[in-house]
Structures are given as structure tokens and as C-alpha cells.
Amino acid sequence: MTILEGRIDLVQPDRAIWNERLDPDLSPDRVRDAETIVGIINHTTGYGVGLRRLDQRHGEDARTIDGAYARRMASILTYKATFMIGRTGLLFQFAPLKYRTHHTGGGKQKRLAAYRADVCDDIPEHEQWWHLRYPYPPGVLDLPVWAPLPNGKRSPNTRSVGIDWLAPRPGESYTVEQYATGARLIAFLCDGLNIPADPLHVNDHSAVHPIDRSRNGKPWDFDSRFDWPGLWRRIRHEIKGWQEMIDKQGPWGPE
């Protein structure tokens, strides 16, 4: 069994739900191999009607809200990543990594091609935040998840693992527990899939698709409430931990 099959070891049965309904997306034409995956794209679930209703119904019972939203995501929502991280830090996995899931649009590539340092005058003001974050590489389409596949097409969904983060309530922020789980998951994926742990390979939907994911001059998937510097500190710490474990036990743990 490889990291691509089934639940990854990190996901314990009591802390995870699995998409038992078997999503119609999990068809053979969506199978990919480990070498295809070169990045991790993080998303907010957004604070839509469904989540607001769950918050109103369950109040402070964050664990129930996490589970209910994950179940809703597994069974109703078409666009979902492989993982969801609840506010309590619960981790949910919807599909084995070997399947591509729908979480990041691949359209508007002609316009995205204008997102290059040398032609940034063409970029509308409300999307220029991108260049402050990425003075390098030269362009959006140079991010590894946009690298052409053997068939010549570019597909961030095929090239990446998606992680949905349950959105905070208005006026609140992502939780410490979410960052702890996220850092551990990202470190695990980087290690198991040979993804370099850096902002070119591990980023968010706004970074990968600033046209779709900016509004009023700012990114919103994630918005400024997401603490990227803090998450990076945690990821580096986790990677040190994983490295020690690998040195001791080998990459797949004790026999």
C-alpha cells in the first residue's frame, strides 16, 4: 500500500470520515501517479449559507459542526479537495490521493499568462496583490501546479493535492488546532510525495488563480485572516520531526 491508496496513515478512523458514497468523480480516468503531483493547494470552504446554518444550529459545538460540514461536503458539494480540516483540527479525507478531485479551476489561462513580472502593467489593480507575494517566479503559469502534463494540458487539479479549511465565522479566525493539523498534514504530504515545502509548491487558491480568487484588490481564498507565516513556522517544525522519524524508522514507519 502506498501513500496514494486509501486513507493516509495520518487520518485515524475516529478523527476522520471517509467518502463512503464513493463520489462519481472517483473514476478510472481520474487516477494519477505520484510523480504527477507537484503541489498542495489550500482553500477556504467559504462562509456560505450551509455553514452559517450549521453554526446557528449547533452553536458552540464545534466538533459537530466540523463533522456535519464534512459530511455535507462529501455527499453534496461537487467541488471539494481531498481533505478538509475542521475548526477543532479534525481531519477529513474524501478520496485516496491517487484520484484527482475538483477544487481549482483551470480556465482563463490566456489572462493568467499576463501575470508575469515583466508585463505586470496589464494586470488590473485589484489583482496586483499577487506580485507583492510572488516577485518570483515570473508568472502564475510558472507555478509548479500549472506545469503542462504529458498531454500538453495544464491542470492544477491533477497536479496538486487540495486541502479545504473550514472557514471561520465572521469576525473570527482560523484556529490553532487547524494550523496544527494543517502543518502536520502538509509536512506528511511533502515528505511522502516529494513535494518541496516552499511557497511555490504549497500555497492557496488565490495564489494559483488570482483572477478567480481576488476581490477589491485583495485575495479571498485565503483572505488576510489566514496566518501563512505562522503555518510555515509549524510546517518547518513538523518536517524536522518527520525527518527524525524517517532517520530512525525508514520512510514508512516500523514493520
> Which residue, 157 or 238, has its beta carbon nearer to Zn ion?
157
Distance CA 85, CA 47 (A): 14
CB of 207 to Zn ion, least distance (A): 11
C-alpha cell at 127: 489583482
CB of 137 to Zn ion, least distance (A): 21
> Which residue, 3 or 51, has its beta carbon nearer to Zn ion?
51
Question: 205 with 43: CB under 8 angstroms?
Answer: yes
Q: Which of 221, 222, 234, 235 binds Zn ion (CB under 5 A)?
A: 221
Contact range with Zn ion by CB under 5 A, out of 41-49, 54-62, 87-95, 167-175: 41-49
Question: 16 with 73: CB under 8 angstroms?
Answer: no
> Which residue, 55 or 221, has its beta carbon nearer to Zn ion?
221
b/e map 138-168, b = 16+ CB within 10 Å: ebbbbbbbbeeeeeeeebbbbbbbbbbbbbb
CB of 43 to Zn ion, least distance (A): 3
Q: Does 43 bind Zn ion (CB under 5 A)?
A: yes
Contact range with Zn ion by CB under 5 A, out of 56-64, 66-74, 182-190, 214-222: 214-222
Q: Does 209 bind Zn ion (CB under 5 A)?
A: no
C-alpha cell at 69: 460540514
DSSP string covering 109-129: HHHHTT-BGGGGGGS-GGGTH
Q: How many binding residues for Zn ion (CB under 5 A)?
A: 3
At which residue does the C-alpha cell 455527499 appear? Answer: 75
Question: 93 with 85: CB under 8 angstroms?
Answer: no
> Which residue, 87 or 213, has its beta carbon nearer to Zn ion?
213
Question: 101 with 94: CB under 8 angstroms?
Answer: yes
> Which residue, 98 or 209, has its beta carbon nearer to Zn ion?
209
Q: Does 80 bind Zn ion (CB under 5 A)?
A: no
Q: Which of 205, 209, 219, 226 binds Zn ion (CB under 5 A)?
A: 205
Residues in touch with Zn ion (CB under 5 A): 43, 205, 221
